[in-house]
Structure 1
Amino acid sequence: MSSQTLPAPEPAAPAAGDIALALRGLTKSFDRTEVVHQIGLDVPAGSFYGLVGPNGAGKTTTLSMATGLLRPDAGEAHVLGVDMWREPERAKAHLGVLADGLRTFDRLTGRELLTYCGLIRGMEASVVEERTDSLLQALGLADQEGKLVVDYSAGMTKKILLACALIHAPRLLVLDEPLEAVDPVSGEVIRTILRRFVAGGGTVILSSHVMQLVEELCSHVAIIAEGRVLTAGTLDEVRAGGSLVQRFVDMVGGADVSEGSLSWLEEDAR
């Protein structure tokens, strides 16, 4: 890990108060079926906030609406006090997003992609170059000059997309499954970068279904299931004296694997 300084979050805007992301009544339907039901959530500024839930819980849809990637049917999202859908350019200037499965210009090299992301945000070319050098070095990608992003490994791809989210020095990072399919070395690099970002005054929202990761990194957590927030608060408040896994299972439920339910499988395995 390089000791080079990464882009630091800009100073917090006084009008934003202590809330980095405020969701109010977010609702979304697909094919006339409502999948997100009036979600409300406050993410404190300076927090490392985990959003957990089973597959299909509505996490990605909620974050897509919160970050301007998907228009809600109803409700509002405010980034540092700025309405995402009334002032999208101003809101997105504070925001860095790593969206799971979002297409990118992967026929560019990592340096070219970072340069494009910086310039399209109106940054000075000299600043883009300086921050690109810093990010490639810090994320262990400086030795991949000339390699196209399409040829990157899963871990390298996550790291370059994180760099794209960081290059304009956002104050809020929203990351959907940032460590999925990532090797342990790349995963540790990403964890370190995110911890440094929060320590420097930034806010991170991390969506994941890996409870151990959330317990390791997050100061706050919300459990979402079937498009609703079941509980939210500090990690200790949500765990309520137990583990996050147990709290999650108690609230969300699980499949019936009681003794004897798969007796045929046990017999065949003998």
Structure 2
Amino acid sequence: MTTPPAAWAAADPYATALRAGRGPLFLRRADGWLLPLDVERWCARADPVDLDVLDRCEGAVLDVGCGPGRLVAALSARGRTVLGIDVSATAVHRAMRLGGEALRRSVFDPLPGEGRWDTVLLMDGSIGIGGDPRALLDRVAGLLSPGGLLIAETAPVDVDERVEVQVVDVVDSPMSDGAFLWARLGTPALLRHAPRTRWTAVAHWTAGGRCFAALRSRSASSSAEPAKSTAVISSHRVRKPSEDSPVPSR
């Protein structure tokens, strides 16, 4: 598969907002529709809703589209093996400053530990990466170990759309060459896109006005039970954004 353009990473308003820790910041469609992006929450510490998600994670965790790294840092503080990936250098550096491991990488690039991650996170709209939900779900299935867990944050409305968007910090900004494909999915749409041959729906829930779904990759041994793990696994900080972080062999 061709790696999607890293237009998000090249969006200066995004990098500027992450450095400042605040917006305003929006995803803008060609028709002028705006989706506000919650930069302040992304740049803050993990909140109780986030922590509940992290309590559900199993084993080694890969946070896809980790942004400025609040979840990676929170899992690292628990002694968990966790790696964040993001196409934004600013996001990766911020995640590392918080004490997490992170790589500047697209989910469609070669990644450490492919096929051996126990949990993959797609939070804060990352289910939209690439604008092709089925392609993303196929890729995630290949990253997980057999029976591994995907936890995805979904849109709080029943939506299923693939659109061209741009990151902007002003409401009247015109579309430019920085536009890229994105998807928005509610939980029903996510479950429709997850082929039953590869995924089993485990749970879905709403907390703090945010919506989530958990899917387990299919294997002969998977139990499809809601996942909670108290396992503590040591981690080792990645010193540079370009370095790979090892995942323990299974």
Larger % of helix: which?
1
Q: Could you state the TM-score of these two structures normalised by the residue count of structure 1?
A: 0.29
> Larger C-alpha radius of gyration, 1 or 2?
1
Q: Could you state the TM-score of these two structures normalised by the residue count of structure 2?
A: 0.30
> Which structure carries more relative contact order (alpha carbon 8 Å, separation 6+)?
1
